[in-house]
Structure 1
Amino acid sequence: MVVALMAASTLALPSAPYPRSVTNTTTSASTTVTAVPAATNTGLSLTAQLFLADTAVDRFALLPENSDFVFDFGNPALKNKGGKGGDLIAANRKTFPALVGTGAGMAVGFLGPCGFNTPHVHPRSVELQIVTQGRLKTEMLPENGVFNNNNAADGRRLISNTINAFQMQPFYQGSVHTQFNPDCTNATFVASFTSEDFGTGQVADELFAMTSDVVSAAFGEAIDGADVAKFKSAIPTSIAEGVEQCLMTCGITKR
Structure 2
Amino acid sequence: MAKNILTLCLVALTLCHLTIAFEPKPLQDFCVADPTSPARVNGFACKNPMLVQANDFFFSGLNIAGNTSNPVGSKVTPVTVAQLPGLNTLGIAMARVDYEPWGVNPPHVHPRASEILTVLEGSLLAGFVTSNPENRLITKVLHKGDAFVFPMGLVHFQRNMGYGKAVAIAALSSQNPGIITIANTVFGSNPSIAVEVLAKAFQVDKNIVDQLQSKF
Give the counterpart letter for 1:63 in structure 2.
Answer: V
Tell me the equivalent position of 1:72. Answer: 60
- 1:233 CA displacement: 2.6
Aligned to 1:83: 70
The answer on 1:174 being equivalent to 2:167 is no
1:140-175 superposed Cα distances (whole Å, 9 cap, x missing partner)? 101114x4xxxxxxxx32101101111111101111
Q: 1:44 aligns with which of 7, 23, 37?
A: 37
In structure 2, what is the equivalent of residue 218 of structure 1? 201
Q: Is residue 141 from structure 1 mapped to residue 129 from structure 2 by the alignment?
A: yes
Higher relative contact order (CA 8 A, sep 6+): 1
Q: How many residue pairs align between the two structures?
A: 176
Q: Cα distance, 1:79 vs. partner?
A: 3.4
Mapped contact 1:135–1:187 kept (Cα < 8 A):
yes
1:186 equivalent among 161, 165, 172: 165
Q: For the residues of structure 2 that align with 1:171 and 1:62, how far apart are their CA atoms?
A: 37
Measured after TM superposition, the shift of residue 106 of structure 1 is 0.6
- 1:44 corresponds to which letter in structure 2? S
Percent of pairs with identical residues = 27
- Find the residue that maps to 1:231 and give its secondary structure: helix
Q: Secondary structure at the match of 2:215?
A: coil
Residue 113 of structure 1, CA deviation: 1.3
RMSD (Å), alpha carbons: 2.7
- 1:57-89 Cα deviation digits (max 9, x unpaired): x6543422x23322123365x832873513210
1:73 and 1:94 map into 2 onto residues whose CA distance is 15
Unaligned runs of 5+ in 2: 1-33
**TM-score using structure 1 length:** 0.62
* Structure 1 runs of 4+ with >2 Å offset: 42-45, 50-53, 58-63, 73-76, 78-84
C-alpha distance in 2 between matches for 1:120 and 1:198: 12
SS in 2 for 1:144: coil
Task: Check if 1:232 corresponds to 2:213.
Answer: yes
Paired with 2:92 and 2:212, the residues of 1 have a C-alpha distance of: 35
8 A Cα contact 1:122 1:201, kept in partner: yes
Contact 2:111/2:153 (8 A) holds in 1: yes
Structure 1 residue 226: Cα displacement:
3.5
CA distance in 2 between partners of 1:187 and 1:109 (Å) = 8
